Amino acid sequence: MTGFILGNGGHGRDLADIVKAAGAVPAMHDDDPERGEPVPADVSYLIGVAGPQTRAQLDRPGNTPYSVHHPSVIGHAACGFGAVIGAGTVIGPEVTIGNHSHVGAGCTLTRTTIGDHCQIAPGVDIAGDVTIGDRVFVGVGATIRNLVTIGDGAVVGAGSVVLHDVPAGATVVGIPAKVIKARRWVGEHGPEYMTLPSASAPHDYRGVVGTDRCLVCGGRLLDAPHVGRQA
Ligand SMILES: CC(C)(COP(=O)(O)OP(=O)(O)OC[C@H]1O[C@@H](n2cnc3c(N)ncnc32)[C@H](O)[C@@H]1OP(=O)(O)O)[C@@H](O)C(=O)NCCC(=O)NCCS
């Protein structure tokens, strides 16, 4: 079984390790449209780029994504298309991971809703009843306390402890996390990140059947039989 990965930098290679651990053969593709060979039209793929904005831009119709999780993941999540869960992550009840959102190794998630194209770096703890918007980046080792909402396009700095809601597009750092940058507004189109083509014409997954499946077991990640098995 082959798992195509669009993007052959560091993040793509991390995904390749997960794909291999899951028992499939990774095939790397350059994500640069000038240099990269086109992904064959009939294959499903993962976007192997860490930046949420770039991932949203690469998420174009044409190929259908697959999802994959490391076999050492413990717990169950309802995952979208192209979702990835890294090694040793522990998932508690009521966790939803959106389309092309990647959760790194060693995270702990409980009662959390993660939107589309998010990057949750390794070692992040999300305490529960947390809502994370689209295209959010959460840095390594951050903690997000319960009952917090993180707006679209926000950035949470490495090691930060988020105790309060984070506005869309803001960067927060520290303990407790405070806003250091608010996203600049650009005219009538709203914040800069809202002008991305993906925001105005998102990939429409309705009617796409069977691609929210684990590459290896074919089950929805929600009920994949090898979730919880040790690597
Ligand atoms: C939050 C982050 C994106 C900010 O980057 P940036 O916009 O370039 O900001 P700067 O580096 O200019 O820092 C701005 C200020 O915030 C502080 N700061 C930056 N990141 C911080 C963090 N994580 N915790 C505490 N303070 C931080 C800086 O010290 C600086 O303070 P100063 O103005 O008093 O000197 C970046 O620092 C970060 O944490 N990235 C995450 C890295 C990561 O987890 N990668 C994943 C690997 S898998």
Q: How far is the CA of 10 from the centre of ligand 1 (A)?
A: 20
- What's residue 66's pLDDT? 82
Is ligand 1 within 6 A of the CB of residue 179?
A: no
107: Cβ–Cβ under 8 A, 6 or more apart, which residues? 86, 89, 90, 120, 122, 123, 124, 125, 126
pTM: 0.87
- What's residue 161's pLDDT? 98
3 state SS for the chain? CEEEEECCCHHHHHHHHHHHHCCCEEEEECCCCCCCCCCCCCCCEEECCCCHHHHHHHCCCCCCECEEECCCCECCCEECCCCEECCCCEECCCEEECCCCEECCCCEECCEEECCCCEECCCCEECCCEEECCCCEECCCCEECCCCEECCCCEECCCCEECCCECCCCEEECCCCEEEECCCECHHHCEHHHHCHHHHCCCCCCCCCCCCEECCCCCEHHHCCCCCCCC
Residue whose CB lies within 8 A of the most ligand 1 atoms, among 49, 155, 173, for a mutation test: 173
Q: How far is the CA of 180 from the centre of ligand 1 (A)?
A: 9
- What's residue 220's pLDDT? 57
- What's residue 230's pLDDT? 30
Q: How far is the CA of 157 from the centre of ligand 1 (A)?
A: 6
What is the Cα–Cα distance from 228 to 60, expressed in whole angstroms?
32
Considering only CA atoms, which residue is closest to atom 2 of ligand 1?
157
Tens digits of pLDDT across the chain (231 residues): 778 888 889 999 999 999 888 888 888 888 776 676 666 666 778 889 998 888 887 776 566 778 888 888 888 888 888 889 999 999 998 888 988 899 999 999 999 999 988 999 999 999 989 999 988 999 999 999 999 999 988 999 999 999 999 998 899 999 999 999 887 544 344 444 443 333 333 444 544 444 556 665 565 555 444 443 332
